[in-house]
Amino acid sequence: MSVENEAMESLPHRGEEVHTHNHTKWYVANILALFVLTAITVLAAGINFGSNTVNLMIAMAIATVKASLVALIFMHLLWERGMNAIIFLSSLFFVALFMCFTFFDVETRAKIEPATPSEPGVSAGYQPAPLPLYVVAPKGESESKAGQSAKPAEGAAAH
Amino acid sequence: MSDIAIPVGGQAHPRASSHSKHLQHHFHNSAQQFEASKIGMWLFLVTEILLFSGLFLAYFILQTRHPQAFIEAHHHLDRSLGVLNTVVLLVSSFTMVMAVQSSALNRIKPALVYLYATFILGGVFMCVKYIEYSHKFHDGLLLGNLFSYKGASVPGEYLFFSMYFVMTGIHGIHILVGMAVIAYLIWRTHQGMYSSAYYTPIDLTGLYWHLVDMIWIFLFPLLYLVS
Amino acid sequence: MAEVLTQRTPAAVHQPEGNFLTENPGLLNWMFTVDHKRIGLMYFWTIMTMFFVGGVLALALRTELLTPKTTIVSAEVYNQLFTLHGVIMTFLVLVPVIPATLGNFVLPMMLGAKDVAFPRLNLLSYYLYVFGALLAVGAIIGGGLDTGWTFYTPYSSTISGGVSIMTMGAFVLGFSSILTGVNFIATIHKLRAPGLSWYNMPLFVWGMYATAVIQVLATPVIGITMVLLLMERLFQVGIFDASLGGDPVLFQHFFWFYSHPVVYIMILPGMACISEVIPTFSHKPIFGYKAVAWSSVGIAVVSFFVWGHHMFVSGQSEFAGAIFSFLTFVVAIPSGVKVWNWLATMYRGSISLGAPMLYAIAFLLLFGIGGLTGLFLATVAVDVHLHDTYFIVAHFHYVMMGGTLIAFFAGLHYWWPKMYGRMYNEFWAAIGCLLVFLGFNGTFIPQFIVGSRGMPRRYYNYLDQFQFLHVASTIGSYVLGIGLVIMAATLIVPLFRKRYDAPNNPWGAASLEWTVSSPPPTHNFHHVPVVTHGPYDFKAARRLEQMESHS
């Protein structure tokens, strides 16, 4: 076993191969680029691009570029392609899946309007029938119905 | 990760025969062990990404339901502190990657300096966070039923603060965990545990630290720059 | 043939020392072991304890349902009992049962490795499981809960009781499961023996790989869901509560994004066991190796696309419902590929009906019924009628118990001689299998009928006209219980024998774990094995064994 170890260790070490190069210049350039992109994010937030959603998307796009720089250079994905990159990218795929399908539903659902939440933390709680489920009960009733928990009453008192 | 962080053998001659010392019995050689640890770390990062994706999704859904409340509520956050913390974390990522590179090149002294720098920058981040949190606590801008701010103009502002505290809270816990691990690395580096032959724990901690940075990169515009 | 094998390494077979069971004895050595085989066994006994508890709860539930009115417990207790039965069976039994026990035990050996990639994380995974199990049991003491295992909000976020503790338990158990998954993926990538290419891996390993992928990708989402539910309970943060401004079905999206894939965390390892048992007992290489291997990965990926079929009647949009319905049908394709290939493997094979094969055949029948009734439920219009009825209950028990657990029993009987080095009595094993099969069908076929007639699930009382079917179901469950007791006794009794009487390779299988002694030595292999033939090349494996025994 030990003989085998020594034999294997004299072979080039793939992990070391990646790092024996000096990447300091890359790192410095990367951190500067990240600063610039941070500035751009802040500036872009001050501009109205038409709607809330568009602004959000632009901010997320810039953040994605920044995150990619971190992944490629600081996390070395630029130099070590292969399984690690696949693992990382697959996670993004499943995150996208999670978000897209949930938004499919939320955006195409016949609107069940929630009651406007005017009272922080005063949940209507679990309402046995015949009360409609997604409507805030009148205050007195909500306290008595959701009475298992003392918290709603405290939240209301704070107002 | 702790699996690899604890060396197996004694400490008499840290540099000599460090391969066999750190090599666990079920691996054939240290390259194999290094790559296995690395793949394990990437898988762990995947779980972190999926974990945070739930928070991001919840944020997006609440934000689309209550856009006005989110815009109003985010004005209570101090944008300059947000920018400051972003810069602090980005720099800490830089120092972390330099620590990894230095140890890979067997420059242990600089590696130690960079590790200290990363630790301190993490601390600065948490201090800024503490200042921000204490302001929010003082104003009653809190999550859920703890929200007691009187001047809210749009109903549902507390939803923003629910997301704010849950997201930054979980992120902050990750920073603290990262700082604890870096402190451990500093201790071990002082003991002479790491060299270019074995620096896996530093490398893996680096990956973790960059991921935490990456998540902040997304949190920053979502929380501080709603428009 | 078995005689030849026994003669092969007589020393290894009869030696009292030199195996993982007897080397380093003592409680502490077991508790802090990092040996994957010992951890597998520790997992096994712990999970079986939980299975026993969950089974007793199931029998209590069935007993209560003997009459339309109160039989043995009150309605409140009944609600808590079915919740506990669900939580224990899903989170504590079905999810870890095959990967953590059989997977831990045989996967490294199948790869020719000495251990999994991260042995200490493996041990940590076990203790997290124990801790999570204690929290789940603690939830009963902490007030109990009657939310069902799905913890739907706003009910779960507003009632008092043990929901918070159970939530933390589910969070911890999730971590345990993630660690197993991470370990397996890293092990399969990096610790394969020389010559063991991906297409030379036993299909069990492919199944474990696909399972691990789901564990790593889906489990974190239940983690964050549980954290948010806890936040909702503590501070009413409003994310899941529509009356606070949140989205009314968001919790269900979060929950099922994990909990649908988790169904495949349960069934894929079951299929993995079956893929080993059927070729070995048909004495014929698996039909369509690559198709079976890739269908595992296919199932793993598609499993993430279908979670909305749990929400057809939850207020999800019709548009999303239609998409999810279509995608759900897609899952049937890789599952069908597998069943087809197993049947084709058996066709014209010389089948020997050992206990593992009996369970495998039972699996094919029961999983067939479970899978096909799943297609009814994937159809939105039919699901509207059948949703939340006993039809659903019967369907998922056919998949979960008839699929996963029966496959687990197949695997258990298959690898038991390897684990403990003792053969069991084939006759009693067959009797146990028969009773389990009859009892299982006796329990759940009536539930299909009563469900399609409109009996809702989770109800304490029911109409008098349903009583006959409920009584039939209860009697079936008793038979099932007796079958399981006989099975357990058949497996446990040989353990009291001092002598190891199991040969290295009792079934004539061709994968690496059968080349070592039964029970295996602590470090599995004395020399790093070199793989020269496929996992189902039984002729080549026998030739190698004979060559070794002559040399």
| Contacts (Cβ under 8 Å, ≥6 apart) of C182 | B40, B43, B44, B47, C118, C121, C212, C216
Distance from CA of A63 to the nearest CA of C (A): 22
Cβ of C228 within 8 Å of Cβ of B39? The answer is: no
Quick one: three-class SS letters along B171-186?
Answer: HHHHHHHHHHHHHHHH
Structure tokens at C345: 């493997």
Which residue do the tokens 């690559």 mark?
A: C290
CB atoms near residue C348 (< 10 Å) = 9
Q: Angle at the Cα of B154 (from B166 to C238), degrees rounded to 5? A: 35
The residue of chain B nearest to residue C528, with distances taken between CA atoms, is: B28
pLDDT on residue C333? 92
What is chain B's mean pLDDT, rounded?
Answer: 87
Radius of gyration of chain B (CA): 21
For residues C115 and C36, is the Cβ–Cβ distance under 8 A?
Answer: yes
Q: Would you tell me which residues 55-94 of chain A have a C-beta closer than 8 angstroms to some C-beta of chain B?
A: 55-56, 59-60, 62-63, 66-67, 70-71, 73-75, 83-84, 87-88, 90-92, 94
> How many whole angstroms separate alpha carbon A147 and alpha carbon A125?
9
> Which chain A residues are Cβ-neighbours of B213 within 8 angstroms?
70, 74
pLDDT on residue A121? 61
A1 vs B130, more confident = B130
> Which chain C residues are Cβ-neighbours of A104 within 8 angstroms?
317, 319-320, 323
* Candidates C146, C158, C326, C525, partner chain A, best to mutate (most A CBs within 10 A): C158
Torsion of CA A140, A142, A144, A149, to 10 degrees: -130
The sign one gets for the Cα dihedral C199, C287, C96, C307 is positive
Examine the pLDDT at B195 and tell me if it is beyond 70.
yes
Q: Percentage of chain C with pLDDT > 70? A: 97
For residues C92 and C173, is the Cβ–Cβ distance under 8 A?
Answer: yes
Examine the pLDDT at C545 and tell me if it is beyond 70.
yes
Cβ of B54 within 8 Å of Cβ of C228? The answer is: yes
Compute CA distances C220 → B52, C36, C308, whole Å.
9, 24, 18
Compute CA distances B77 → A37, B136, B159, B214, C228, whole Å.
21, 9, 14, 21, 23
The residue of chain C nearest to residue A124, with distances taken between CA atoms, is: C243
B28 interfaces chain C, CB cutoff of 8 Å: yes
Global ipTM: 0.91
DSSP state of A116: P
Which residue do the tokens 């919790």 mark?
A: C251
> How many whole angstroms separate alpha carbon B12 and alpha carbon B24?
18
Provide the pLDDT confidence category of residue C436 given band limits of 50, 70 and 90: very high
Taking every pair of Cα atoms in chain B, the longest distance, rounded to a whole number of angstroms, is: 68
For residues C403 and C367, is the Cβ–Cβ distance under 8 A?
Answer: yes
The sign one gets for the Cα dihedral A31, A35, A37, A41 is positive
What is chain C's mean pLDDT, rounded?
Answer: 91
For residues C508 and C1, is the Cβ–Cβ distance under 8 A?
Answer: yes
Taking only the tens of pLDDT, chain A with its 159 residues reads 333 333 343 333 444 444 467 889 999 999 999 999 999 999 988 888 888 888 889 999 999 999 999 999 999 998 886 889 999 999 999 999 999 999 888 888 866 555 555 566 666 655 555 544 444 444 444 444 443 443 333 333 333
Distance from CA of C237 to the nearest CA of A (A): 7
What mean pLDDT is predicted for residues B81-100? 95
Structure tokens at C214: 């789901």
- Quickly list H helices, C245-379: 250-282, 289-302, 318-346, 355-378
Cβ of A136 within 8 Å of Cβ of C243? The answer is: yes
Cβ of B20 within 8 Å of Cβ of A2? The answer is: yes
For residues A87 and C186, is the Cβ–Cβ distance under 8 A?
Answer: no
CB atoms near residue C124 (< 10 Å) = 18
pLDDT digits (tens, 9 = 90+) for C117-135: 999 999 999 999 999 999 9
Examine the pLDDT at C90 and tell me if it is beyond 80.
yes
What type of residue sits at position C97? V
- Among C190, C235, C239, beta carbon nearest to B35: C190
CB atoms near residue C321 (< 10 Å) = 21
* Candidates B27, B51, B52, partner chain C, best to mutate (most C CBs within 10 A): B51
A11 vs B112, more confident = B112
Structure tokens at C216: 């790593």
Cβ of C154 within 8 Å of Cβ of A125? The answer is: yes
Distance from CA of C388 to the nearest CA of B (A): 27
CA proximity to C393, closest of C320, C449, C342? C449
> How many whole angstroms separate alpha carbon B124 and alpha carbon A34?
19
Radius of gyration of chain A (CA): 27
A47-56 b/e with 16+ CB inside 10 Å = b?
eeeeebeebb
What mean pLDDT is predicted for residues C37-64? 96
What mean pLDDT is predicted for residues C292-312? 93
Examine the pLDDT at B216 and tell me if it is beyond 80.
yes
pLDDT on residue B139? 87
Quick one: three-class SS letters along C135-184?
Answer: HHHHHHHCCCCCCCCCCCCCHHHHCCCCHHHHHHHHHHHHHHHHHHHHHH
Report residue C261: phi and psi, to 5°: -50, -30
Provide the pLDDT confidence category of residue C259 given band limits of 50, 70 and 90: very high
Distance from CA of B113 to the nearest CA of C (A): 30
Distance from CA of C345 to the nearest CA of A (A): 33
> Which chain A residues are Cβ-neighbours of B23 within 8 angstroms?
5
Provide the pLDDT confidence category of residue C498 given band limits of 50, 70 and 90: confident
pLDDT on residue C415? 96
For residues B51 and B197, is the Cβ–Cβ distance under 8 A?
Answer: no
Examine the pLDDT at B178 and tell me if it is beyond 80.
yes
Examine the pLDDT at C171 and tell me if it is beyond 60.
yes
Distance from CA of A142 to the nearest CA of B (A): 15
> How many whole angstroms separate alpha carbon C371 and alpha carbon C29?
44
* Candidates B81, B163, B195, B214, partner chain A, best to mutate (most A CBs within 10 A): B214
For residues C329 and C375, is the Cβ–Cβ distance under 8 A?
Answer: yes
Report residue C248: phi and psi, to 5°: -65, -30
| Contacts (Cβ under 8 Å, ≥6 apart) of B128 | B81, B84, B85, B88
pLDDT on residue A120? 65
pLDDT digits (tens, 9 = 90+) for C472-494: 999 999 999 999 999 999 999 99
pLDDT on residue A21? 75
Cβ of A151 within 8 Å of Cβ of C236? The answer is: yes
Radius of gyration of chain C (CA): 23
Which of helix, strand or coil describes residue B28? coil
B31 interfaces chain A, CB cutoff of 8 Å: yes
For residues C183 and C117, is the Cβ–Cβ distance under 8 A?
Answer: yes
Q: Would you tell me which residues 138-157 of chain A have a C-beta closer than 8 angstroms to some C-beta of chain B?
A: 151-152, 154-155
Q: Chains with ≥3 Cβ pairs under 8 A against A?
A: B, C
| Contacts (Cβ under 8 Å, ≥6 apart) of C77 | none
pLDDT on residue C24? 85
Compute CA distances B209 → B4, C6, C39, C89, C416, whole Å.
17, 55, 31, 37, 44
DSSP state of C389: B
Which residue do the tokens 């049962």 mark?
A: C97
DSSP state of A22: -
pLDDT on residue A119? 63
Cβ of B54 within 8 Å of Cβ of C190? The answer is: no
pLDDT on residue B174? 96
> How many whole angstroms separate alpha carbon C338 and alpha carbon C206?
13
Distance from the Cα of residue B124 to its chain's centroid: 13
Per DSSP, what are the bridge partners of residue C456?
C389
Distance from CA of B68 to the nearest CA of A (A): 10
What mean pLDDT is predicted for residues C409-416? 96
